[in-house]
Amino acid sequence: MDENPAPSACSAANTEEMTGIEQPGTSGATACSPEPAVAAAPSGSESKTVSTQISSLLWGGKIKPDVFRRWLQGFSFSDREPSALVQRDGGPCCVIAPVQAYLLKILLMESPAHSFNELTADKCKTLLIQAVCQILMKCKTDVYRIVTLEDATERTVGPSDDTRDVGQKDSNAGEEPSDPGVDTHDAALLHPSTLGRTATANPNTWTAEAFHEQIRFREHGHIDEVQKFYAQNFHVLSDECGVLLLLYTVLQTKGLEHILSEMSDPSESLIHDTYGCGSQALINLMLTGRAVPHVWDNEQDVGGMKLKGINQQSDIGFITVMEQLQYCTVGFFYKNPKNPVWVMGSDTHLTVLFSHEQRLVSPETPGEIARRVFRQFDPDGSNFIPGPVLQDVLCTLELVSEPEYVELMRSRLDPENLGIILLNAFMSEFFPDEKKSTPDTFDLLHYNGIPNSNYGNVVQYSRGQAVLLESDVRMCNPSDPMLTCLQTKWPTIEVNWSGNRTPSLN
């Protein structure tokens, strides 16, 4: 696992049916590329060249052959776990894990736990297409721009002298990749008679230049057209370039101008040029449709700079062990998604946590809202606030906030005049009958797409039973990254994993 995402860790979330079909009246009208605008074309219209600026934003000025090769993988399912995607190499988890998360979101609403292993291959393909469509719906600005490969039989063999679509030629382009691949499915569909010639003793090899010369996009106005396209051309997702083609589809559908407007540093590439991992902006784009670079709620003013975070409750959550290490602060919108599915971040990889317990994402009780608001004014997590900000807390909670009343409450909550107000005293005064929406025990399942990170080197879900302890004291265990990450969401959680094997975050 040689991924190494940066430790720094989204909003047109349409209400979609589980078929993945977009609701009417949600498309925008903003052009999304600095190049000359192209009018929306009907399905099946002439293909168009992918923006070279998109490629530069994604990879930076130069694409290293070994980084590019790690991204050459399609979407495929585990032999042991029908609905679990397999990740071959480090790097593409920033695409594969969000797709897996949306797939599980759909599956959790359709199927009980015991039926997961009974899913057919056709059903899992349908789930994958639905997940892809839901991600694209969040990224759409005007039309869907589905990126595919031009005639696979015309692929450039070996290194190319033409660098027009990558910006700069690979210095090591002449090296033979360690894992060559042939898009034989594409070739068979487009020119069946030439398939034998394409897959002979000297098979074609994808280089970055060859790939960028071949990719084109076609425009679709509605998500049902996209769903139909992928159903009829599933190889676009499953063949060797499937993950990359989806990534470019997301970027083209979102549009360069929109992506740049949401990023803090447009000069920073979305894929790390050395490690091949995706930036937090790319992770957020895949999960929420917005390429913002941070994981806190809304905007924060840092030294006079407005730094953008997550602006509404997400369909899929995000938690990370990096928060415990104080590299970032994950906000309420990510920790409390609409569905009990969270992408989990370690320092090297992305995995997915999910549960059948819908009460984990039930609406907040008034007491839980009060705790969340209180902590907004307690950024250090010390469980107290300065006395002078009590009025701000009461205003935010829409409680009585007249100066005379606030002063009375301040003296009552701080009888020793220490200048601080404790969380427990605040809750006892304003929410004495506080109730919890979260159950004390619930099931958890964990997905890691890398075979070597799974028991028996086979991708399958790890199952555990969680319990929330009756304590306000967090038991930190630095040697257990899984527990450390879970405690950023549930501070008092303990989990008994099946077989006493704690799943790996890496």
- 354: tokens are 């999910």
SS3 assignment, position 215: strand
Q: Who contacts 223 (Cβ-Cβ below 8 Å, separation ≥6)?
A: 20, 21, 22, 133, 136, 137, 140, 144
Residue 336 Cα to chain centre, angstroms: 15
Q: What dihedral angle (degrees, nearest 10) is formed by the CA atoms of 21, 24, 26, 29?
A: 110
pLDDT in tens, 412-430: 999 999 999 999 999 999 9
Nearest to 382 by CA among 271, 321, 472, 319: 472
pLDDT digits (tens, 9 = 90+) for 96-147: 999 999 999 999 998 776 789 899 999 999 999 999 999 999 999 999 999 9
Beta bridge partners of 85: 77
Q: Where are the domains of the chain?
A: 366-431
Write out the two tokens for 18: 């589980």
Q: What are the tens digits of pLDDT across the range 42-100?
A: 445 678 998 889 999 999 988 999 999 999 999 999 999 999 999 999 999 999 999 99
Helix (H) or strand (E) holding 95: helix 93-110
User: Within its chain, how far is the Cα of 172 from the centroid?
Assistant: 32
Amino acid identity, position 31: A
Q: What topology does CATH give the domain 366-431?
A: Recoverin; domain 1 (1.10.238)
Retrieve residue 236's tokens.
């676009």
* Distance, CA of 174 to CA of 158 (rounded, Å): 7
Distance, in Å, from the CA atom of 83 to the CA atom of 100, rounded to the nearest integer, reads 8
Percent of the chain with pLDDT over 70: 79
Does the pLDDT at position 5 exceed 90? no
Instruction: Please give the residue that has the higher pLDDT: either 113 or 240.
Output: 240
> Which of these is catalytic: 10, 32, 93, 94?
93
- Predicted local confidence at residue 321, as pLDDT: 94
Which carries the bigger pLDDT value, residue 261 or residue 155? 261
Tokens for 335, please give them. 């920790």
Question: pLDDT by residue (tens digit) across 462-498?
Answer: 999 999 998 655 566 778 999 999 999 998 899 999 9
User: At 4, which amino acid appears?
Assistant: N
Ranges 45-59, 109-123, 333-347, 353-367, most confident? 333-347
Tell the burial category of 2 from Cβ atoms under 10 Å away from its Cβ (0-12, 13-18, 19+).
middle
CA-CA distances (angstroms) from residue 453 to 6, 303, 351?
Answer: 21, 41, 11
Which strands make up the sheet holding 48-49, listed edge to edge?
48-49, 215-220, 144-149
**Residue 349 annotated as catalytic:** yes
**Looking at residue 267, what is its pLDDT?**
85
- Token look-up 């100066």 returns 403
Rounded Cα distance, 361 and 358, in Å? 6
Catalytic pick among 241, 349, 446, 485? 349
Percent of the chain whose predicted confidence (pLDDT) is above 90: 62
Q: Is 165 exposed, middle or buried (0-12, 13-18, 19+ CB in 10 A)?
A: buried
In the residue annotation, 395 being an active-site residue is answered as no
* Contact between residue 400 and residue 366 where contact means Cβ atoms under 8 Å apart: no
